[in-house]
Amino acid sequence: MHPIVSGRRLAGALLCLVPLASPSAKDIAVPPDISAKSLEMLQRSVGFRTVEGEGQVPAYAEYLAGELRAHGFAAEDITITPRGETATLTARYRGTDPKLKPILIASHMDVVPARREDWERDPFTAVVEDGFVFGRGASDNKFGLVTSTTALFWLKQEGFKPKRDIVVVLSGDEETSMETTAALAQELKGAELLLNSDAGGANLGDDGKPIVYAMQAAEKTYMDFEVTTTNPGGHSSRPGATNAIYDLARILDRLAAFRFPPKTNEITKAYFKAAGAITPAPTGPAMLRYADHPDDKEAYELLVSYPEYVGQVGTTCVATTLRGGHAPNALPQSATVGINCRVFPGESVEYVQSTLTKVIDDPKAQIRLIYEPVPSDASPLREDVMKALRKAVDLRAPGLPIVPSMSAGATDSLHFRNAGVPSYGVGGLFINPKDSFSHGLNERIPVASIDGAVAQWRSLVRDLAR
């Protein structure tokens, strides 16, 4: 998955930029063998049909283990763990100081389904055409998996010895139940931090130049509730004083009028400051005011009017499904509304449920949480991470604005944040949103983005692990 950054609204970002440092040529020049290996591995990766239920993740993991061994990873440092029909892989790049906590580099091996008849090309045969690699998983998330891994091959090749262990962490069901992710997060919960290749990246403009880099540092928590009204019912020829559908309708009116209070955190403050500085009036100035004063009513009202910002200023809950009654000639015995919430980090299930109960204001109505959510706090914008990311991005696009982001969820980082590991979506994909078809038809990535991503990963990992 990838965070959504509106390139249109952030356009113009390049106008006032001064490069922070001139990058060193040798840090950008990916060795030809590493560059070729990256493209080859991406193409072969697409060929593994790692869709849920196809049982191909273990075979893909074996292939990756072979490449890791061929590029300097000791066999005993690579672990493939079968988990149901899928699997996880971890590979440890040994550091010199075993007392230090490891850093993790996460990607997922599975992909969402793709049907041959829907695609112009076979989704599971990578095709290079018009400067793109086409195939299911090309962007989500095999590009990130491959480029972060071949960056380690490069570091091994040049004899880099990190102080900390660097652990490649590959999950096998990120697109579905994330049970493998939850298991990995438990096993690795003592880690220093996690770098996730499955979020973060830059938007390219139509001229091919990057506009803004988004770094994901928080995710909202997904929660589903149902509210049900009940009634003894009866024959529809004899309507009474109460009616389950009418009762629910009154509840819906109250829900529709309600908004959770404005919230900010370090990530959304930084996001609104960065975005506000490059967004035209009146929205830009409103973002800047809101960042410092979430009680600024006018700024808040303007931001909630945009679908792309309403989720950044607080918890949202909205009615998404409705069912009620059982026959056209019977009084309804029950009516139910489904409510989907995207909860601001730090707000609990109890808080959301008790708030909704107050809003519903009907002691006869029942509110029910549909399943147990996995809450996760925002990760702190650590100076070491921001500095290393700044340097790594500067290699490719000096001075490109880096905007911290909070996404509506969910990536593997969710479970790691829940387990107390600060997690950052710092992928290397630079792509025009028009070309981004993650989860969709004809998924593709620009070939030109591969080397830059490898160089970015090498710089980032080297700085954080040394």
Cα dihedral sign for 175, 178, 179, 183? positive
3-class SS of residue 378:
coil
Q: Which of residues 275-334 bind Zn ion (CB under 5 A)?
A: none
Nearer Cβ to Zn ion, position 332 or 409?
Answer: 409
Nearer Cβ to Zn ion, position 198 or 394?
Answer: 198
Nearer Cβ to Zn ion, position 2 or 164?
Answer: 2
Angle formed by the axes of helices 32-47 and 144-157, nearest 10°? 150
Which element (helix H / strand E) includes 82?
A: strand 78-83
Strand partners, 227: 337, 367
Q: Is residue 1 part of the contact set for Zn ion (CB under 5 A)?
A: yes
Give one word for 439, left, alpha or beta, with left for phi > 0 and alpha for psi -120 to 50.
Answer: left
**Token pair of 136, please?**
């299911």
Q: How far is the CB of 122 from Zn ion (least distance, A)?
A: 21
Nearer Cβ to Zn ion, position 52 or 198?
Answer: 198
Number of residues that bind Zn ion (CB under 5 A): 4
Binding mask 109-148 for Zn ion (x = CB under 5 A): -------------------------------xx-------
Q: Which of residues 166-205 bind Zn ion (CB under 5 A)?
A: 198
Residue 405's nearest CA partner among 109, 258, 111, 203 is: 203
3-class SS of residue 157:
helix
Nearer Cβ to Zn ion, position 38 or 141?
Answer: 141
Strand partners, 425: 196, 216
Q: How far is the CB of 312 from Zn ion (least distance, A)?
A: 21
Question: How many residues in the chain?
Answer: 466
**Do the Cβ atoms of 296 and 311 come closer than 8 Å?**
no
**Do the Cβ atoms of 202 and 453 come closer than 8 Å?**
no
Q: Is residue 378 part of the contact set for Zn ion (CB under 5 A)?
A: no
Nearer Cβ to Zn ion, position 246 or 437?
Answer: 437
Q: Is residue 43 part of the contact set for Zn ion (CB under 5 A)?
A: no
The residues that touch Zn ion, with contacts defined as CB under 5 A, are 1, 140-141, 198
